[in-house]
Amino acid sequence: MKEKTWRRVIFLLAACLFTLTWLGDTLDIDAYYMIAQGREILDSGIPHTNNWTYVPGLNIILQQAPYCILMALAAKIPYNFGLYFLMIAQAMLVYAAYVRIISKYAKTEFQKTISMLSGIVLMYFIVRAYHISLRPENLTMLMLLFQCHALEKYRDTKNRLWLITIPVLTFLEANVHASMVIFHYCILAAYCIKLPDRRVKSNRIEFTPFLAAMIVLSVGSAALNPYGLNGILYAKNSMGIFDHIMMREQDFVRITSFPGIMLICVTCAIAWVYAKRRFESSQLNLCLGFTFLAFTSYHGNMMLPLVACLCLQKIIPGIDGEKISAFIAKYRKNFRLIGIPALCFLVFLTGVIGARKLPSADIYRDTWAVKQFLDQRPAGNIVNYIDTGSYLEYCGYKGLFADTRPELLYYKVNGGYHGEEVADWLGGCTPSEFVVREYNADPQAYLDKYDIQYVIDDESMGFTGYLDGWLDGSGNWDKFVLSDIDPDCPYTVWVRKEAKQ
Amino acid sequence: MKNWLKKPLKNTKHMPLLVCTAIGFLCLAIAAVMNVHPEYRETVMYGRHMLANGTPDDAALAMQTWLYGIIASPLDELSHHTLYLVLSLVQMPLATAFAASLFYEPGNGRFWPGLAAALACFACGSVDLIYAGPKAAAFIILLIAWNAIRNGNRKEIPALFFFSLFLSNIWTPAALSLFSLANYGVTDTKGRIRRCAAIAVPMMLSPGGIYALLNPELVTGAVLENGSIPLLSFSFLIIVVTTAITVYESIRHTGTQREISMAIAIILVIVFPDAAFFIAALMLPTVITLFQAIKAPNITGSMKNDVKALAIGLTVVSIIAGVSTTVYMGTNHSIGTTMSISGYEGNASVGTLPAVEGLENYVARFVAPALDQNDASWLGYHGIDVVPVSASENPEEFLERTGATAVILRSTVEAPALAGYLDGSPYWTRLEYPDRIVWNQIK
């Protein structure tokens, strides 16, 4: 085998190892949501009405419909092996894309090796930031990177075929992860604009009529999704919900957290490359833009590895590793004899451990006891928090308040029901005009109107804090603290007294 | 009009400084009138308590600011709250003036020091320092200290010791900033160790330092609870900008000493819970680094340019100060609608409290880091017991434990479960006040 191929094999194995080591013993709650939605689509087609909530007639937008189908199909393979391999395949593709960017200007063997190692470190970051799970962000990342690649190819070769990728990618994005379409235009802007800075060399793409036509075409192609314009505007329409419901992904990153420290490191790297005058305009624009995105929310930190790649691309060619290269060359044979079998064994071992874990992924530990509790009781509508919703949907429950898409509670998305104000009210804010008008600011009126039989809330981080206290004080509901039954379960369930068995 | 502006400019070379000081003064006056910071009341309350009964229950906070507390509390009694206004009107301009004086170096021109002072003033205001309290006092001492210790020689060791001693007793964490400032420009390792020791020894011997050493779990607990700064906040922005400038400058220029100092400051900001103070301290070396790198424009020759520069500077500063004050009030004190210059009693946030029936029986309030502590400090200041209600505490157990017969909340969001329980229970009645909700037990 050639030297180059050996190196690739070794690092792919090492990357596998990292990925497998970090597999959890349950799926991400988003995965449960998407599998449930995928099953629904396979049974009844693309939905336009929300069948999961107890409020009748609300609109639904599934911004990841094809990905949900893919997940549901993968989940059909016994013992969750389908999901397992889908996860690995995505991780490996992202890793390969990262390494390709980092090693773009690497010349020596040593620099290429460092590039691959850096890719693994970045993969570790993604794992820590929870994006290596079964999320469409992985595909978005690949598409964004491919967009960059296509634009660079066009810039270098002037071959117009590369520009056709713009409408194709926006079409794919609109169907895989509709809310992310806008980022493709951000990348376009980064390649077309040169900031007025003499320190930075321009490598911008000339704005031609053909490019303009492709951009116009891409807007049209993005609209070719099951929800049309609403699908594209989903992100814009839904953001208001996060003023009412706090989600970790939408929250600001803390400086002491892993992404916070990563952001400081990335800032240092940008400053370093900029001071060395190694940036070209498009790269600087991308770095600044993506770093800004990382600032805005926890979710945005998925952009940080990409910025890191762009900086490393410029840093690595300056690394001179002659001594280390000589050392490696001296022991290369020994390494091949011992290192590769050892790596293979480790990959196999961690793979087996991962494979052992995955069959139990059907059981989401936190909510398992809730499901067991509800299974023993008559069906009924449930007021619940987003954390419990997805797993209950995965287990076939309907008539819920929320799942991991709380934006569906937002009136601009669902067509009129002010779920966000209800959530505010039940969580402890002063009743809004809507709540006073519709329910006379009386929780009992709300609970009766929708025939709520169960209320589920987290013991420590109460989502419906006000309602919890109200249920306790009213004396009409029985309270069951599930941590008494299962220590891993943080939830409390209130059961309407008539529904008690 | 032209002469009015021209005359002082012609005769006063410190005009930019004076103007910026006046702006600092104005910002402060606005902030002081709009709100009395709860930390001032807390410090005075603890000081009063210490003078009367010794260390209060919340020793961690009291020990950090004990000197300020026992000096301010008798003065506060004497001047009946006007001390706050006087202190705030003196402290902040002093801080601005000392910040400006740091920039008076050959070649820096006249405009840059003034603008830098204004930036420092802005930084202070934006990080919660526009009020009378131990932090503002500590900030001024820090600036004076830096003026005294910036040459990096051995003669400065006693001064360092003295300033560390003083700072540690005014507000203990502030002494940590000295580690950053004292090493700025110091080149030899031994010298750096000597200077660090001169800071560390008095700090550890101060009541706040001793308390931290004896109760590390409380201190680290506070760090873990409050230590993280949200991204997209002004504080975080400053950290990122200063980090980027530091790296950029270190590559463009030789010498790593100031970068080491900066690194220490950045680490302090990241690790320490009350990072706002350190950010202000961190801003200064960074601004100086930046300003030293920029060749100051020669504006001494033309009066026209002076006026232009001042006008630009003033406009920028006024906008920044206005935005800063608005953001400050909007984020931290959104309750403030009615303003009064008369001091605390006119403060809108606690205006209705004295009128609330049943206040003397019991007051329960949820105290969380996200909410300001106006009620708690106001009630404590007036000798009324305040019981913090944790969000996770079971309402039934809380009411049983405390035996409360009346509950006052500003909004249900302060303690949702408790509010819900009281609303749901047939044994409590709810009364609505303009900015308070009161529940009374039905006897």
Give residue-wise pLDDT tens across range A194-216.
887 777 888 889 889 999 999 99
Amino acid at residue number A202: S
For residue A201, the 8-state DSSP code is B
For residue A495, the 8-state DSSP code is E
CB atoms within 10 A of CB A170: 28
For the record, the structure tokens of A424 come out as 């505010």
The full DSSP string for A395-456 is TT--SBS--S-GGGGSHHHHTS--HHHHHHHHHTSPP-HHHHHHHTT-HHHHHHHTTEEEEE
- As a whole number of angstroms, the distance between CA A170 and CA A221 comes to 7
ipTM over 0.90: no
- Tally DSSP H helices, then E strands, for chain A: 24, 4
Nearest-CA distance from A176 to chain B in Å? Answer: 29
pLDDT of residue B193: 83
For the record, the structure tokens of A61 come out as 């937008």
Nearest 5 degrees, angle CA A456-CA B426-CA A472? 20
Asked if A300 contacts A239 with a C-beta cutoff of 8 angstroms, the reply is: no
Query: Do the chains contact at A471 and B395, CB–CB below 8 Å?
Result: no
- As a whole number of angstroms, the distance between CA B26 and CA A81 comes to 68
Q: Please, what sign has the CA dihedral across residues A153, A154, A158, A159? A: positive
- As a whole number of angstroms, the distance between CA A457 and CA A481 comes to 10
The list of chain A residues with pLDDT below 50 reads: 500-501
Asked if A442 contacts A436 with a C-beta cutoff of 8 angstroms, the reply is: no
- As a whole number of angstroms, the distance between CA A467 and CA B336 comes to 29
Nearest-CA distance from A257 to chain B in Å? Answer: 8
For the record, the structure tokens of A451 come out as 């025939």
* pLDDT tens, residue by residue, B56-68: 666 666 778 888 8
Query: Do the chains contact at B227 and A256, CB–CB below 8 Å?
Result: yes
Contact list, A263 vs chain B (CB under 8 Å): 231, 240
- As a whole number of angstroms, the distance between CA A210 and CA A212 comes to 5
> Which one of B223, B225, B228, B231 makes the best mutation probe of the A interface by having the most chain A beta carbons within 10 Å?
B231
Binned at pLDDT 50, 70 and 90, residue B117 comes out as low
Q: Which residue of B has its CA nearest to A467?
A: B420
Query: Do the chains contact at B252 and A275, CB–CB below 8 Å?
Result: yes
Residue A91 to residues A127, B244, B294, Cα–Cα distance (Å) = 9, 31, 47
Query: Do the chains contact at B270 and A470, CB–CB below 8 Å?
Result: no
Helix or strand holding residue B38 (H, E): helix B38-53
Query: Do the chains contact at A465 and B420, CB–CB below 8 Å?
Result: yes
- As a whole number of angstroms, the distance between CA A289 and CA A313 comes to 17
pLDDT of residue B338: 26
Q: Is the pLDDT of residue B402 over 60?
A: yes
Nearest-CA distance from B83 to chain A in Å? Answer: 37
Binned at pLDDT 50, 70 and 90, residue B138 comes out as confident
Give buried/exposed letters for A277-296 (b at 16+ CB in 10 A, else e).
ebbebbbbbbbbbbbebbbe
Residue numbers of B between 263 and 282 with CB closer than 8 Å to A: 266, 270-271
For the record, the structure tokens of B374 come out as 């106006």
Strand, helix or coil at A492? strand
Say if B396 is an interface residue toward chain A (CB within 8 Å). Answer: yes
- As a whole number of angstroms, the distance between CA A238 and CA A413 comes to 6
In A282-342, at which residue ranges do the beta strands (DSSP E only) sit? none
Which of the two residues, A268 and B226, has the higher pLDDT score? A268
Q: Can you give the residue ranges of every domain in chain B?
A: 2-332, 352-441
Out of B231, B418, B425, whose CB is closest to A253? Answer: B231
Say if B411 is an interface residue toward chain A (CB within 8 Å). Answer: yes
Out of B227, B247, B421, whose CB is closest to A469? Answer: B421
Helices (H), A103-136: 109-128
Binned at pLDDT 50, 70 and 90, residue B21 comes out as low
Asked if B247 contacts B240 with a C-beta cutoff of 8 angstroms, the reply is: no
Query: Do the chains contact at A472 and B420, CB–CB below 8 Å?
Result: yes
For residue A345, the 8-state DSSP code is H
Say if B200 is an interface residue toward chain A (CB within 8 Å). Answer: no
Binned at pLDDT 50, 70 and 90, residue B302 comes out as very low
Say if B335 is an interface residue toward chain A (CB within 8 Å). Answer: no
Find, among B49, B108, B48, the residue nearest to B290 by Cα: B108
Say if B310 is an interface residue toward chain A (CB within 8 Å). Answer: no
Distance of CA B106 to the CA centre of its chain: 32
Strand, helix or coil at B58? coil
Residue found under tokens 């599998």:
A35
Binned at pLDDT 50, 70 and 90, residue B80 comes out as low
Q: Which residue of A has its CA nearest to B427?
A: A473
Nearest-CA distance from B216 to chain A in Å? Answer: 19
The most confident of the ranges A41-45, B240-244, B264-268 is A41-45
Return the axis-axis angle of helices B157-170 and B174-182, rounded to nearest 10°.
160
pLDDT of residue A368: 87
CATH number for the region B352-441 comes to 3.40.190
pLDDT of residue A41: 95
Query: Do the chains contact at B240 and A263, CB–CB below 8 Å?
Result: yes
Query: Do the chains contact at B412 and A257, CB–CB below 8 Å?
Result: no
Nearest-CA distance from B214 to chain A in Å? Answer: 25
CA atoms within 13 A on the CB side of A50: 28
Amino acid at residue number A175: N
Q: Which residue of B has its CA nearest to A264?
A: B240
Out of A252, A256, A257, whose CB is closest to B232? Answer: A252
pLDDT of residue A111: 85
pLDDT of residue B170: 87
Query: Do the chains contact at A295 and B392, CB–CB below 8 Å?
Result: no
Return the axis-axis angle of helices B111-126 and B303-332, rounded to nearest 10°.
0
Out of B229, B251, B422, whose CB is closest to A254? Answer: B229
For the record, the structure tokens of A422 come out as 């209800």
Nearest-CA distance from A120 to chain B in Å? Answer: 26
Nearest-CA distance from B251 to chain A in Å? Answer: 6
Query: Do the chains contact at A276 and B251, CB–CB below 8 Å?
Result: yes
Out of B233, B236, B421, whose CB is closest to A472? Answer: B421
Contact list, A462 vs chain B (CB under 8 Å): 391-392, 416-417
Query: Do the chains contact at A256 and B425, CB–CB below 8 Å?
Result: no
Q: Which residue of B has its CA nearest to A262?
A: B240
User: What's chain A's length in residues?
Assistant: 501
Query: Do the chains contact at A427 and B416, CB–CB below 8 Å?
Result: yes
Query: Do the chains contact at A473 and B421, CB–CB below 8 Å?
Result: yes
Nearest-CA distance from A461 to chain B in Å? Answer: 7
Edge-to-edge strand ranges of the sheet holding A381-383:
A381-383, A452-458, A491-496, A477-481
Q: Is the pLDDT of residue B116 over 70?
A: no
Q: For chain B, give the mean pLDDT.
A: 62
Which of the two residues, B160 and B367, has the higher pLDDT score? B160
Contact list, B233 vs chain A (CB under 8 Å): 252
Q: How many Cβ contacts (< 8 angstroms) between chains A and B?
A: 133
Contact list, B420 vs chain A (CB under 8 Å): 428, 443, 465-473
Find, among A288, A343, A332, the residue nearest to A310 by Cα: A288
pLDDT of residue A302: 79
